[in-house]
Each structure stands twice: as C-alpha cells, then as structure tokens.
C-alpha cells in the first residue's frame, strides 16, 4: 500500500507477455520516493533479462509459487525478491516505490504515468470497418479522351535496343527493360498527332498512367506545320501534368524514356487531368479547424495565431484536426510543431464533413469557396467563424493600400463581390452559424458596412488570446526605455512602417538620439525600400528575417519600448504580446486600438502622425517613472483581459 501503481501498471505487464515467455515480469528499474523527492533507480536494467525481481512490483506464473503458503508469501512481500532463470525487467513507468502517500499523488503521477493526451491513432477494427465501406474505385478523368496502351503502341516502331522488350497485352502495353542502373534509352513514335485531333490548343494537360516497376517518362515533342521540331518536354508518370504549347506548334509526337531495369505496363494516356482525391479521409478529432493558410517551417508567419490556438486547445484537452483549403489542389499533408495539417480541395473537405465525425468546424478567413461546402453541412454541424478584418471589409477601410486610381478601381470591384457574399450570408444567418469578433469596435464597423445588425445571439466578442506564460513579465530596468524594438511584417502599408521610419528620422535630430537603440526585424515586399533611409544610422539594427514565438519572447526581455504604428487594426496581437512582456507600446489611436491600449499603459499617437510617435519616445526617455508605471500597467492589463488561459477557455466553451 505504500507504493504507487499507475493506471497502466498491470496492462504494461500483461502486454509484455505478447513478446516474452518470461516466468516473471516486473520493475527492476523503478522510481523511488525518498523524503519527497523522486529518484530513478537502476535505469540501465529496463527491458533486460532479470534473475531477480521485487515481488512488490512484479507478476509471475502461478507454478513458481504453487507450493508456497499464502501467509508466508504475504509476510515477506515488501522485501522479497523473486529469483528466476527466466525473468524480464520492463520499463520504469507507472510505478513508484514508497510513492503511495496521497499528498504526493499529483506529483508522482505527473512524473511516472504515461504522457497525457497521446495520440494513439485509429484502432485497427475501425480502420478495417472504414476500409470495407469504401466504394469500388472509379476511374475519373474529367470526361477527357484517353489513348490506351494498345493505341499508343500502334504509334511506335520496334524497340530501340535488345535491352528493351515490347509486348501488347489486351489494352495494355508491357515494357521490359534490362538496362543497367544509371542508363537510359529513348523510343519515339513514328507518327504525329495534330493539335486539333488531340483537342488541345494552348496547353496540354495529361495523366500518363503506368503500373509500378519501371521508370518510364513521357516525352512530348512539339513540331511546326512542316513537322520540324520546336521544343520538347519530359514528364513523370502517374500524376497530373501540364505543358504549355509553344507558339507555332501544329503537331505533337510522343516518345518514351526508359531508365534502368524493370518492367511495367502502360495503361493509358489521359488527355486531361484525373481526379486524384482519396476515397476516404481519416480524421482523429471531433472538431475541425478550417483555414486558408497555416504555418510551415518555410513560412512561420502564415496564420501563426491559428497554430497557437490549435496548441492551446490541445493543452486544454480538446484536439482539433486542421484542414487548409486549396481549391483544385490534390490532397497533401505537412507537419508543423507536432500539428498535422491536411491540404486539399473542396471535394476533400466535403468528404471529411460527410463522415459524421465532426461536431463543429472552426473557420478562419471564411471565403465563398469555403462556404460553398459548409452550406451543405451547417444544418447539422456547428460552424464558428472568426472574422479577422480584410476578408469582410469594404475597400475604403484599407484605401491607404491603393497608390493610384487603377488600383482603387480593382479594389472596388473585389470589394463589391466580397460585400455581396457577406450580405447574402448574414442577412438571414443560419442558426447554427456563429461569428467571433476580436473587438467591439470592429464588430460595430462590420455591421455599419453591411448596412444591418447581426442578431446578438449570432456573434460574440472574444479577444485574441495572449500567451502570458511565454511572454512573461519581469520589471523592466529603466535603462531599457532607451531600447526600442519593432517586429513587423512589411507586406502592406497597413502596418505603417513608413510612419515608424519618419518617427526615427525625426528623433535623429534630437541630441540624445545616439543614446537610443533601435532594432527593426521583419520581412516582406516593402522591407528594403521602407527601411533604406535608416541604414545610415549606427544605432539602428535592421534584420530581414522571421522569428519564432520563443525568439520573440527572448528579445522582449532585452527591450523596453515596442514601436508599432498602425493604420488599421482589429486588435494587435504582437503589440499585446510585447505588453505582456512589459514593453511599453507606441502606436496610433486608430480603428480598434484604443479598445486595447490607453494612456495608462501606452503612447497613443494620432492617425498618420509620426511626430506624435517620436514625441512618445521622447516622453519615455525623459521620464523613467512614467516608463516603469506604463510597463507594469500594460502587463497587468493583458493578464486581466486577454490571457490565453481565460480566452481559450471562453472559445472552447463556445464551440464544445
């Protein structure tokens, strides 16, 4: 009774009988509680043969103790070692010697039990059931014509060498190659096809269908009206391919490229694209996150806040599958920081939602392509849409991005389509659809732009969550008021980085300018031209790169001011993260920003006012007490109103 036995203690021993015929199975390696401290003993003997195992942490075959009196066995149980010539010591987990004290239960459990929330996949019984329910495959190539292997063979002559053998079997064309590794040969057709006969003009789309076993590539030779070669292309088999047809082409001659040895059958050449969507999609969770982008190791910033939510939900015990919609794109998969992401078309999304597995769909950046699928499922699946900004705003909200009338005209056309979509959707909003706005002012702006109010029960105001543990607060040394940090995208004028540059240029006229340090980090198409005027200053450090959240948190510890002007913001997550770390924000009083920053915790400049931004730096430089108070107030405000712990709980309550 003084020992701790975890929930899988007996199961682990029982499972060991599947791979071992040992007479005694137990824990020769184990955790031990000594004076409240947990220590791992004999770690090197785990999963090793054992000649003796502690009776208090082992299971044995009955015949080993069949002649022993029960009282004798129980009397020495705590100290007894079970000797054997056929023992097995398994892992050290799910057991702790002297760890049975109830006051230590949580600490012991956290140390020795299996990791919580492990994704153990889908059971074999369910996999078999779902596999058996898949309908027979149907060859689907968008109604395009196809040349069978037999028809292709008729276009070609004899084999190019003795190493290649050709044979027609029914509708297939069998190829056998005895070429050595690293060698290849070509075989060209003796006839040509006119573009008209193939039904193509500017582009040739095809799917070259062959069986596995030999590396065969399709060669496409483009000929002019005199049947003279213009150019050629070589493409792999068994995938949808596209080749632009050169100007002046009148005919196409096909060829084959054989590489190394093996055998395969050419089944057909589809003159179009084949439907490559899977017959079944296997999900793991009850909730699906649907988004237009998701971060990858090559692109850390694409909807990073969506990724943060996925991880936060999981930490709260709620798992979500993630789907990135890409119309007309074949299904693919990638992993980012232990999150599996599926990318695919509307057909794949529809198939996933038809499975009946999902209780809710959590949407970021809803667009018509997404709704085209969701509208068929919203009557039985709860759909929660986070509204972020650009996807629902009319052109005039971001007119600063338009540099001339031509750009403004294009923006108006896109805006008309966008607003038509949202008005049609929300005028009679489905009862199972709910919107989430990150700020009250943004919600009011949206309803003003729509021209009508959304029913109160159909939307909620929930701020974006801030990870106050990662972005922890430590009281700032007053010297850090001289260190200014900016971490911003440079993809659009909405981030007002040009105002930041003007503010720094204004500060360069101050006698204390070189007592300041500026570190400007980011990337985007406007990066070089925006920051060029600042490269003359030795106290301005410019870094063109992306940062992870952990890297940002570390930088926060070194700086005291976060310079983040803006022309439009529905909240400002990067600013709030900086405030959580104790940096004092200097920004513009536009859009929703005053809902999140006031004069007690930051500097609010007027719209488009770079002089106010510069004066804000001056105020903090000249008044260290003001800097300290604002730093502390900002960190407290984030923890009271936008901590991830509270916000994530509110979001989960809404959809779960």
3-state secondary structure of 470: coil
3-state secondary structure of 530: helix
Q: Which of 188, 167, 166, 163 is nearest to 177 (CA)?
A: 163
Could you say which of 112, 138, 163 is where a domain stops?
A: 112
Residues 458/464/468/471 CA torsion (nearest 10 deg): 170
CATH of the domain at 328: 3.40.50
Mean pLDDT value of segment 560-571: 95
Q: Which residue has the higher pLDDT, 607 or 131?
A: 607
Residues 150 and 224 occupy one common structural domain:
yes
For 158-174, the pLDDT digits (tens) are 999 999 999 999 999 99
Give the C-alpha separation, 167 to 159, whole Å: 10
Pick from 7-16, 87-96, 118-127, 592-601: least confident = 118-127
Give the C-alpha separation, 446 to 389, whole Å: 9
Distances (CA, A) of 362 to 160, 438, 544, 654: 58, 15, 33, 11
For 433-458, the pLDDT digits (tens) are 999 999 999 999 999 999 999 999 99
Residues listed for the chain:
656
**What pLDDT does 138 receive?**
61
**What pLDDT does 451 receive?**
94
Give the C-alpha separation, 56 to 75, whole Å: 12
Mean pLDDT value of segment 72-89: 88
Residue 139 has pLDDT above 60, yes or no: no
State the helix-helix crossing angle for 573-580 and 624-641, rounded to 10 degrees: 110
Residue 119 has pLDDT above 80, yes or no: no
**What pLDDT does 127 receive?**
86
Could you say which of 244, 270, 296 is where a domain stops?
A: 270
Mean pLDDT value of segment 415-419: 94
Q: Which of 577, 647, 588 is nearest to 616 (CA)?
A: 588
Residues 189 and 234 occupy one common structural domain:
yes
Cβ proximity of 304 and 548 under 8 Å: no
Confidence category of residue 137, pLDDT binned at 50, 70, 90:
low
Q: Quick count: other Cβ atoms within 10 Å of Cβ 236?
A: 12
**What pLDDT does 280 receive?**
79
Distances (CA, A) of 60 to 68, 110, 648: 13, 28, 48
Residue 611 has pLDDT above 80, yes or no: yes
**Tokens coding 370:** 């997404």
Residues 489 and 371 occupy one common structural domain:
no
Find all residues with CB under 8 Å of 368, minimum gap 6, and list them.
421
Cβ proximity of 51 and 85 under 8 Å: yes
Domain membership flag for residue 242: yes
Output the pTM of the full model: 0.70
Mean pLDDT value of segment 178-204: 92
Domain membership flag for residue 131: no
CATH of the domain at 518: 3.40.50.2000
Domain membership flag for residue 279: no
Domain membership flag for residue 135: no
Pick from 92-101, 288-297, 397-406, 635-644: least confident = 397-406
**Tokens coding 257:** 């490229």
Could you say which of 239, 270, 301 is where a domain stops?
A: 270
Mean pLDDT value of segment 47-68: 92
Q: Which of 400, 276, 288, 412 is nearest to 340 (CA)?
A: 288
For 342-361, the pLDDT digits (tens) are 998 898 999 999 988 999 99
**What pLDDT does 302 receive?**
79
Give the C-alpha separation, 319 to 285, whole Å: 6
Domain membership flag for residue 134: no
Residues 350 and 435 occupy one common structural domain:
yes
Domain membership flag for residue 282: no
**Tokens coding 171:** 């509708």
**What pLDDT does 58 receive?**
95
Domain membership flag for residue 129: no
Pick from 141-150, 222-231, 564-573: least confident = 141-150
Give the C-alpha separation, 571 to 441, whole Å: 10
**What pLDDT does 223 receive?**
95
Give the C-alpha separation, 2 to 24, whole Å: 22
Residues 438 and 562 occupy one common structural domain:
no
Distances (CA, A) of 341 to 154, 164, 549, 573: 45, 43, 20, 23
**What pLDDT does 140 receive?**
57
Residues 246 and 325 occupy one common structural domain:
no
Residue 238 has pLDDT above 90, yes or no: no
Domain membership flag for residue 122: no
Find all residues with CB under 8 Å of 536, minimum gap 6, and list them.
none
Cβ proximity of 488 and 498 under 8 Å: no
Pick from 57-66, 185-194, 286-295: least confident = 57-66
**What pLDDT does 141 receive?**
55
CATH of the domain at 187: 2.60.120
Residues 524 and 619 occupy one common structural domain:
yes
Residue 129 has pLDDT above 90, yes or no: no
Distances (CA, A) of 276 to 74, 132, 139, 140, 241: 65, 20, 10, 9, 12
Distances (CA, A) of 463 to 7, 116, 305: 39, 29, 12
Residues 55 and 82 occupy one common structural domain:
yes
Q: Which of 80, 108, 125, 120 is nearest to 7 (CA)?
A: 108
Cβ proximity of 347 and 327 under 8 Å: no
Residues 372 and 510 occupy one common structural domain:
no
For 464-514, the pLDDT digits (tens) are 999 999 999 999 999 999 999 999 999 899 999 999 999 999 999 999 999
**What pLDDT does 122 receive?**
83
For the chain, percent of residues with pLDDT exceeding 70: 99
Query: Can you give the residue range of the structural domain that contains 166?
Result: 146-270
Residues 81 and 154 occupy one common structural domain:
no
For the chain, percent of residues with pLDDT exceeding 90: 78
Residues 633 and 520 occupy one common structural domain:
yes
Residues 262 and 297 occupy one common structural domain:
no
Give the C-alpha separation, 376 to 83, whole Å: 66
**What pLDDT does 240 receive?**
86
First to last CA, the chain: 40
How many domains does the chain fold into?
4
């Amino acid at each position: 009774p003084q020992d701790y036995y975890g929930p899988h203690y007996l199961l682990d021993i029982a499972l060991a009988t599947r791979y071992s015929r040992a007479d005694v199975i137990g824990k020769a390696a184990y955790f031990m509680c000594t004076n409240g401290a947990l220590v791992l003993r004999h770690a090197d003997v785990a999963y090793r043969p054992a000649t003796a195992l502690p009776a208090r942490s082992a299971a044995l075959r009955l015949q080993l103790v069949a002649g022993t009196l029960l009282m004798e066995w129980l009397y020495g149980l705590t100290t007894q070692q079970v000797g054997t010539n056929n023992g097995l010591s398994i892992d050290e987990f799910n057991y702790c010697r002297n760890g049975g004290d109830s006051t230590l239960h949580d600490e012991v459990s956290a140390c020795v039990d299996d990791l919580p929330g492990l994704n153990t996949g889908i059971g074999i019984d369910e996999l078999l059931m779902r596999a058996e329910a898949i309908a027979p495959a149907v060859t689907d190539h968008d109604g395009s014509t196809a040349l069978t292997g037999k028809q292709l063979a008729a276009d070609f002559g004899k084999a190019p060498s003795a190493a290649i053998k050709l044979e027609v079997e029914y509708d297939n064309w069998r190829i056998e190659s005895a070429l050595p590794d690293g060698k290849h040969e070509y075989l060209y057709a003796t006839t040509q096809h006119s573009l008209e006969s193939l039904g193509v003009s500017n582009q040739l789309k095809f799917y070259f269908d062959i069986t596995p076993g030999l590396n065969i590539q399709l060669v496409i030779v483009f000929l002019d009206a005199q049947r003279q070669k213009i150019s050629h292309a070589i493409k792999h088999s068994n995938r949808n391919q596209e080749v632009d047809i050169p100007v002046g082409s009148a005919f196409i001659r096909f060829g084959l490229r054989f590489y190394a040895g093996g055998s395969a059958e050419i089944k057909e050449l589809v003159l179009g694209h084949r439907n490559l969507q899977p017959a079944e999609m296997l999900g793991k969770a009850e909730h699906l996150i649907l988004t237009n982008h998701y971060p990858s190791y090559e692109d850390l910033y694409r909807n990073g806040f969506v990724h943060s939510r996925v991880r936060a939900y999981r930490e709260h015990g709620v798992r979500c599958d993630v789907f990135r919609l890409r119309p007309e794109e074949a299904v693919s998969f990638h992993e980012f920081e232990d999150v599996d992401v599926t990318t695919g078309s509307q057909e794949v999304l529809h198939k996933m939602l038809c499975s009946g597995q999902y209780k809710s769909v959590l949407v970021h950046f809803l667009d018509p392509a997404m709704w085209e699928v969701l509208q068929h499922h919203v009557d039985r699946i709860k759909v929660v849409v986070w509204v972020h900004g650009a996807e629902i705003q009319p052109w005039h909200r971001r007119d600063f991005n338009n540099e001339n009338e031509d750009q403004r005209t294009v923006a108006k056309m896109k805006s008309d389509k966008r607003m038509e979509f949202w008005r049609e959707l929300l005028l009679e909003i489905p009862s199972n659809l709910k919107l989430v706005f990150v700020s009250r002012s943004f919600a009011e702006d949206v309803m003003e732009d729509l021209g009508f109010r959304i029913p109160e029960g159909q939307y909620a105001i929930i701020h974006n969550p801030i990870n106050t543990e990662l972005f922890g607060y430590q009281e700032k040394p007053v010297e850090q008021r001289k260190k200014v940090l900016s971490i911003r995208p440079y993809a659009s004028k909405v981030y007002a980085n040009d105002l930041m540059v003007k503010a720094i240029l204004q500060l360069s006229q101050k006698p204390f300018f070189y007592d300041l340090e500026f570190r400007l980090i980011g990337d985007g198409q406007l990066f070089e031209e925006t920051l060029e005027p600042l490269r003359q200053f030795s106290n301005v450090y410019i870094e063109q790169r992306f940062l992870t959240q952990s890297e940002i948190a570390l930088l926060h510890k070194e700086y005291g001011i976060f310079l983040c002007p803006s022309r439009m913001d529905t909240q400002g997550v990067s600013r709030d993260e900086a405030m959580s770390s104790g940096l004092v924000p200097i920004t513009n009083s536009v859009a929703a920003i005053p809902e999140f920053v006031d004069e007690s915790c930051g500097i609010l400049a007027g719209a488009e006012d770079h002089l106010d931004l510069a004066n804000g730096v001056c105020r903090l430089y000249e008044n260290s007490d003001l800097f300290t108070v604002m730093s502390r107030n900002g960190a407290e405000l984030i923890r009271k109103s936008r901590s991830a712990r509270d916000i994530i709980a509110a979001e989960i309550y809404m959809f779960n």
